[in-house]
Every structure is written in C-alpha cells, then in structure tokens.
Amino acid sequence: MTATSTSRSANQMWGGRFAEGPNAIMQAINASIGFDKRLYAQDIAGSRAHAAMLAATGILTNKDAEAIGEGLLTVLSEIEAGNFQFRVELEDIHLNVESRLTEIVGEAGKRLHTARSRNDQVAVDFRLWVRDQCDAAVAGLTALMQAFVAQAEAGADWVMPGFTHLQTAQPVTWGHHMMAYVEMFARDRSRFEDARRRMNECPLGAAALAGTGFPIDRHMTAQALGFDRPTANSLDSVSDRDFALEFLAASSICAMHLSRFAEELVIWSSAQFRFVRLSDKWTTGSSIMPQKKNPDAAELLRAKIGRILGATVALFTVMKGLPLTYSKDMQEDKEQVFDAADTLMLGLAAMTGMVADMTANRAQLAAAASSGFSTATDLADWLVRELGLPFREAHHVTGRLVAMAEAKGCDLPDLSLAEMQTAYPGIRDDVFGVLGVENSIRSRMSYGGTAPDQVRAQVARWKALLV
Ligand code: ARG
C-alpha cells in the first residue's frame, strides 16, 4: 500500500462518524493488535465479568448475558487453538474480541460495550496481566533463593576471601556470600508482593473517564476478577499506569541484582580465579580456542538489565507530563512491559539453573582466602584486645607488619615472632592463633556476621521461610 491509500470502509465500531477509512500508515502507527493480543485471556475474563454484572444489575437480559458469556468462551478457545483471525483494521485486542463475539452471537454481542469504554477495558486487562507477572516473579525469585540457600547450606564453613574494591579484605564463608544474595532477592520478592497489593484495585466501570449513568455494580466486577476493591476515582482509573511502572522498577532492581551475581560468576569462573566451575549446561565453547568454556549465560544476565531498565525509562518518559486522563501515548506501555517481563522471567530461570548447577572450588577458595593479608584486621583486633592498644595505633603496627611481609614475599603467619616484635615489642607468641583464616571466620560471631554458626542460623531461618 502507498502512503496515500486508505482502507475501503470506515471502522465498523465507530464508522458512523467517519466517511472513509484510515490511511494505511495511520493504521500501522495506530494498531496495537500486533502486541496486545497477548492480553486476550485478560480481555475475555474482564468482558465476562462485565457481562455477568450487567445482567445482575438488570442492564442486560440474562439471555443476552449468557449468550455473551458463552460466545466469549468460544472466542477464547479459537484463540487458544490458533484459529482466530486477528485483524489489524480492528486495531486492538478489545475490538478484535468484540467483533468476533458479535459474529458468533449476533445482536447480543453489540450490547457488551454498554457502560464501559476501551479506556477502562485496557486498564483492567493490563492490570490483570501485570498482576500475573508479579506472581510469576515471586515464584521465580523463590526458586532462585532456594538455589542460593542450598549452596549456602553446603558451604556454610568454606572459607573464601571477602572483597571490598575487588581487593582481598577479610576472610568470609562461601555460605555467607551466597546468603547475601538471598537477602537481595528477598527484598526484590517483597517489592513485587508490595506492588501487587497496591495494584489490586479494579478500574473497570470507570468507563471512558467519568464513570457511567448505568446502575453498574463495580464491587461485583472487582470481586469476580480477584481484586480487593474497585478504584475510587474514575479519572485516575483510566490514566494510571503506576502499576506498570512499579513492576518495571521492581524488575530493574532485581535485574541489577542478577547482573551483580552474573559479574561475580564471570570473574570467579575465569582461569585466574577458579572459584567456581560452571556446569556445561550453562556455558559455551569457542569455535577456535579448544580450551575455552565461556560463561555466556552469566554474561547475558549481566547485560539484560539494559533492556529492563530501558523499558522502565521508556515508560516513565511516555507517562511524564501526560495530562489527565487517557491519551493514546499510553498504548506505548505494553511492549515495554512485555519485553521486560519476558526478560526478567528468563533471567530468573537461567540464574536459578546456573546457581543450582555450579560447583565451588573449595581448595582454591581456601587458598585465596589466606593470601592477600586477609587476616590483617584480626591482627589489629588482637593488639587492641590483648595488648590494650588504641585501634588507630594497632592499625599502624599491623600496617608495618604487612609491609614487612610484602617485602619478604610471604604472608603474615610466615613472619617470625622476633620480626613481629620489631614492629611492636609487646607482641606474644599467641598472636599466631588469630592469623589463620579459620579462626578469623569463627570469630565473626556478631549477628549477621560470617561465622559459620551465624550463617547456619540464617540458612535455617530462610529454609523455614521458603517452604
Ligand atoms: N489499544 C488501546 C491502548 O492500548 C486501547 C484503548 C484505546 N482507547 C481509545 N480511546 N482509543 O491503549
């Protein structure tokens, strides 16, 4: 079709006002059926609830409402069987379903749109869809947390280096590191639960924007669709997309968390670190370098945040500055949320698989834990505790000992007592007891610290919460 060609006939839903159909390019920019067909199940559920309510309030006859309810189920099965003809000239999922319904049930189908508008219809469809995605995210996060807890339980007392600035800081345990992610993903999970609670109000019945003169029962439709209550302001109901933005915001934070562990896996699985071995199931080989085992899934997870955060920024930009109430701009909400949701669910599943299948290299973790002067803080603490030095001075003495070991090319426990005493004469033989990493981790007994007993307590707490 050329830029000037038009559809032969005016739209069957509002053709009364129009002498000719839309320009083909107008149709291309205007139609959303290409993507909003994903809302078919929600659209049909919303329409069935609406029709039942119209009958209960005497706005429609029972006979018409029954025909509509049955007809909608036929449409549903046609779509699910893949023999529904989606028509671009019918713009979106709402008009496609209604038009087919009318073909099937005749006159009654034309009565379905009484006391509603596509504005409240799309608002309710999309809320139902996003609500399901919140539930899917909660389930996906629960599985991921379980995978981390299993890793933590196995390695509650395996020592590894803890890092700040990606420089060796203090020894920690593998279990403690795994449980850090459980905390992060638990916050994500609560964000999805929280967003779901807030979005669980039904906008159906707000009609175009002002409500309706028909004696509808909004509480009835809200209840039928599993909402807690109807929304309280019709203008807000059709113009609000906060629920989608909250879903995207929660998804962005979650994807950021995924990207952080993904980055750790990339580093840890390298030949230089060898902290973990990723399973063959989650890696790829190189077509030229036979030795390679690339952490592609982790790299992709590190990158996926880009799409999800991009969707978030896109929808914020769409919504920013829109006057009340509905504007067609808002049709641009769906593709962003669809893509972000698909990306997030795939990412959660991939990360869960990778975490469940990865193997920690316990020996390498332990070797790395005792290098890099990781127990320097334990030494400083010993000087404070045993010799009564002020911490600042203890820090200084320890710094001198680290410099000494560095110059000798050895670790702190390799210095002799005589060498230590050159830095501070009062140092005694029992200092060597605190220089081992095992001792170091066991001493970190403060609540939430890395001591294996603390880690085991957190594992037990989460195991009970995650059933
Ligand atoms: N396809 C539209 C959307 O996704 C449905 C609502 C259209 N409403 C309207 N008044 N044109 O936003």
The residue whose C-alpha atom lies closest to atom 12 belonging to ligand 1 is 331
The residue whose C-alpha atom lies closest to atom 2 belonging to ligand 1 is 331
Q: Active-site residue among 270, 286, 327, 371? A: 286
Residue 419 CA, ligand 1 centroid: distance in Å: 79
In whole angstroms, what is the distance from residue 347 CA to residue 304 CA?
Answer: 8
Ligand 1 atom closest to the CA of 334, numbered from 1: 4
- If one residue of 13, 35, 47, 122 were mutated to test the ligand 1 pocket, choosing by the most ligand atoms within 8 A of its CB, it would be 122
The residue whose C-alpha atom lies closest to atom 7 belonging to ligand 1 is 118
The tokens describing 157, both together, are 């007392």
Show the ligand 1 pocket: residues with CB < 6 angstroms. Answer: 32, 36, 92, 118-119, 122, 326, 328, 330-331
Residue 286 CA, ligand 1 centroid: distance in Å: 48
The residue whose C-alpha atom lies closest to atom 11 belonging to ligand 1 is 328
Q: In terms of Cα–Cα distance, which of 355, 356, 354, 364 is closest to 296?
A: 354
In whole angstroms, what is the distance from residue 165 CA to residue 3 CA?
Answer: 58
The residue whose C-alpha atom lies closest to atom 1 belonging to ligand 1 is 92
The residue whose C-alpha atom lies closest to atom 3 belonging to ligand 1 is 331
In whole angstroms, what is the distance from residue 337 CA to residue 247 CA?
Answer: 8
Letter string b/e over residues 197-207, b meaning 16 or more CB atoms within 10 A of that residue's CB = eebbbbbbbbb
Ligand 1 atom closest to the CA of 126, numbered from 1: 4
* Catalytic annotation present for 165: yes
Length reported for the chain: 467
Q: How far lies 6's CA from each of 10, 32, 216, in Å?
A: 10, 18, 39
Q: Active-site residue among 165, 287, 416, 446? A: 165
Sequence-distant (6+) residues with CB within 8 A of 74 are 104
Report pLDDT for 4: 45
The residue whose C-alpha atom lies closest to atom 4 belonging to ligand 1 is 331
Q: Return phi, psi of residue 359, to 5°.
A: -120, 125
* Average pLDDT, consecutive stretches of 10 residues, N- to C-terminus, the chain (467 residues): 51 76 90 97 98 98 98 98 97 98 98 98 98 98 98 98 95 98 98 98 98 98 98 98 98 98 98 95 85 92 97 98 98 98 98 97 95 91 96 96 95 94 95 91 95 98 95
Report pLDDT for 158: 98
Residue 167 CA, ligand 1 centroid: distance in Å: 54
Residue 424 CA, ligand 1 centroid: distance in Å: 77
Residue 117 CA, ligand 1 centroid: distance in Å: 9
Instruction: Judge if pTM exceeds 0.85.
Output: yes
Residue located via tokens 């991921």: 144
* Catalytic annotation present for 286: yes
- β-pairing, 167-173 with 359-360? unpaired
- If one residue of 322, 331, 336 were mutated to test the ligand 1 pocket, choosing by the most ligand atoms within 8 A of its CB, it would be 331
The tokens describing 268, both together, are 């840890």
- The answer to whether the CB of 426 falls within 8 A of the CB of 412 is no
Residue 329 CA, ligand 1 centroid: distance in Å: 9
- If one residue of 89, 92, 116, 333 were mutated to test the ligand 1 pocket, choosing by the most ligand atoms within 8 A of its CB, it would be 92
- If one residue of 116, 239, 328, 334 were mutated to test the ligand 1 pocket, choosing by the most ligand atoms within 8 A of its CB, it would be 328
Residue 328 CA, ligand 1 centroid: distance in Å: 6
Residue 221 CA, ligand 1 centroid: distance in Å: 20
Report pLDDT for 3: 43
